[in-house]
Chains A and B, each alone.
Chain A
Amino acid sequence: MKIVVAGGNAEAEYIISMLKGKGTELVVINGSKEVANKIVKRQKVPVYVGSPWRRYALEESNAYDADAFIALSSSDTDNYASCYLAKTVFNAKKCVCVVSNPTNVALYQSLGIDSVISSSYLLGQSIKNESSVEDLFKTLSLENGKIVMIEAVVLSKFKMANKMLKDIHFPSYASIACIERFPDIIIPKGDTYIQPKDKLMVICRSQDQKRVMAFIRQED
């Protein structure tokens, strides 16, 4: 696995510390000499000093054919240009572009960047989800909020408790991916019984989240 980490400061160092070793070929490019020195010293990885949106910088740092190219600089357009160059000229399989302006998420995706991440966008999504969720439910947004994974604990007063999956007519717009029944993980089939205290991992579209939760929460 070859990963290019382009730009950034503390966030770059954190990602490098997570990815280094483990059979990963890391290419680190940073425009700041000070940040580069800090990363070399603390993470013991080589750092190419240069601008990742320049063709010669990606050439000289051998950033060809990366499995992932991660652009972390503080300028959204610099990250856009770096990702576009990596994708079209250096054959990067997947580009991750970090942006500070959340409205750039959808825009950059529409212009051809695979994955655009904004911390305020993610924060907004999770606040939106959490405000609609009560204590028994946790949710995780996937695919930029298009899909949600709901974690729901079954209570004995729920209508679905102690019934077979095929008998509860679980809605067609959602799917129970797995059930955690401590210490086991069960991949449910039609004849699986749903028991109190089971933790259901349910996948659905984000717009269906509320009605899925309402369905699970039905009481006898």
Chain B
Amino acid sequence: MKNTLVVIGCGRLGSSIANYASQSGDDVIVIDSDEASFDRLDELFSGIAKAADATDVDALEDAGLPSAREAVITTGDDNVNLFLAHLCAKKYQIPYIYVRFDDPDKGLLIQGLNVKAIYPFQLSRDRFSLLRDGTIPGEDK
């Protein structure tokens, strides 16, 4: 279990990270309450997909979250993501924790914790600036 990467929330971002990590050779566990979301995992995905509510701590423990090396938190609800980030950092002391927040103000609430945040809003804004400057061409993917 020591090198496991656990992805909570199998949306577009979560599934894409899970697919990529699995193909790069990581042991991946994906958790989402909606089993249909696992359709986003591609055929080469060789990890484990578990249907469980992200706020059900017993289910997360059953899925192996406490012994994960990395946790990637990408559910669609910022408040659930905040709670999970605190849980992973304070209770399970997972070494690497990444969380997605739509609301950049959530960053205030993970200060001092071993949690790295991803803000799609900021990334889009930064990319807009680069595109506008002509620093990067517009047509690349």
Q: Which residues of A contact B (CB under 8 A)?
A: 53-56, 75-78, 80-81, 84-85, 88-89, 101, 103, 107, 110-112
Chain A residues within 8 Å of B80, by CB: 77
A53 to B106, CA, bound (A): 9
Q: Would you call B109 and A85 a contact (CB within 8 A)?
A: yes
A55 to B104, CA, bound (A): 10
Q: What are 13 contact pairs spanning A and B, CB under 8 A?
A: A55-B105, A56-B105, A77-B77, A80-B82, A80-B83, A81-B79, A84-B86, A89-B108, A89-B109, A101-B55, A103-B57, A111-B83, A111-B91
New A-B contacts (15) at CB < 8 Å, excluding given A101-B55, A103-B58: A55-B103, A76-B55, A78-B79, A80-B79, A80-B83, A81-B78, A81-B82, A89-B108, A89-B109, A107-B87, A110-B90, A111-B86, A111-B91, A112-B86, A112-B90
On whether A111 and B55 interact (CB within 8 A), knowing A81-B82, A89-B108, the answer reads no
Q: Chain A interface mostly helix, strand, loop or mixed?
A: helix
CB distance from B99 to the nearest CB of A (A): 13
Chain A residues within 8 Å of B82, by CB: 77, 80-81, 84
Chain A residues within 8 Å of B55, by CB: 76-77, 101
Chain B residues within 8 Å of A77, by CB: 55, 77, 79-80, 82-83
Q: How large is the interface on B (under 10, 10 to 19, 20 to 34, 35 or more residues)?
A: 10 to 19
CB distance from B38 to the nearest CB of A (A): 23
CB distance from B76 to the nearest CB of A (A): 12
Q: Would you call B79 and A53 a contact (CB within 8 A)?
A: yes
A78 to B58, CA, bound (A): 19
Q: Would you call A75 and B79 a contact (CB within 8 A)?
A: yes
Nearest 4 pairs of A and B residues by beta carbon: A81-B79, A55-B105, A77-B79, A77-B80
